[in-house]
Amino acid sequence: MIKGLRTLIQRLDTSHPLYTKFSQELQQQEAGDFGEQHIIKQLQKLANTLEIVILHNISLPAPIPIQLDIVVITPYDVVIIESKNIRGSIQLKLKPRQLIRTLETGERHIFNHPEIQLEEYVFGLDKFFKRQQVQVDVTGVIVFPFNNAEIQYDEGQFPVLMIRELAHFLRQHVLNKQSQSKIPSEKIGHLLMEHHRVYQIPSFCTYYNIDPQAIKKGVYCRQCIQKKLIRNKKNWFCTHCKMYDKTAHHQALQDYRMLINDQINTETARHFLELPNRHITKRLLQDYCTERKGQNNQMLYQL
């Protein structure tokens, strides 16, 4: 999603009605990913002493489709960590369940309470283990990964922690479970990895209902990003960086795959890459794409 949104923003005009929305969504995605990485680094420091297994971004398609930020498998149970990298003054209300964020400017935003999502994750993972005939308890915790939020909350179903509290929480959690039988942590980790499926979305134009004509054409410089390259004999040249890049069209074709379609014909590629003739385009496609189907003008190349 992050890579696709970056590509989409680069190839949309700033005047596009959805440009600001996509820019904000990218910031949220990047902030969320940065927060998760920070939590994982803290967990890795505990991995050996607590004998925990850590998994990141696990997607299980069945019995209920769920995407888990961070999964910690302790010697006694499984803890799902729901990361919330949100700044400002945060109020977590239970009746109704809402997350209310107030910025320094006084601007207020209302979101779903993270407990609602976490409940679904715990339920889905519990169902998964029962289907696999594995006996293991599943619980969850909500973690704010940075000290950029002032938190007020009503006591709910799951603990709400700042990152600095996570290590103590897990140590105490494991200590309180020591009267229980141990579970095969490594085996459970491998089981989740075996059933993990990478989250797939269609092309971004389809996903966000964008007219493909709104996507900017051309091959862009990989150094200065926004500058279009010109075709100079068998090379691409940036008039700004004065750099040559023989394979710059590879990135452009990947942009097309991500944003518009994973298949392309010669004429569409010539138009998208803004090349002078179809013979150059055909040669570049044949060099780049190993999989193709059809004949002559009906040839489709798999990106």
Where exactly are the structural domains of the chain? 2-195, 217-302
Q: What is the mean pLDDT of residues 141-149?
A: 88
pTM above 0.85, yes or no: no
DSSP 216: P
Instruction: Among 51-55, 105-109, 145-149, 218-222, name the most confident range.
Output: 51-55
Predicted pLDDT of residue 218: 92
Rounded-to-integer distance, Cα 277 and Cα 262, Å: 22
Q: What is the mean pLDDT of residues 276-288?
A: 91
Residue type, position 294, single letter: G
Residue type, position 20, single letter: T
Report percent pLDDT > 70 for the chain. 99
Predicted pLDDT of residue 245: 87
Taking 80 as the threshold, does the pLDDT of residue 225 lie above it? no
Taking 90 as the threshold, does the pLDDT of residue 150 lie above it? no
Predicted pLDDT of residue 134: 93
**What phi and psi values does residue 243 have, to the nearest 5 degrees?**
-105, 145
What is the H or E stretch that residue 138 is in? Answer: strand 137-144
Predicted pLDDT of residue 222: 84
**Average confidence score pLDDT of the chain:** 91
Between 232 and 175, name the one with better pLDDT: 175
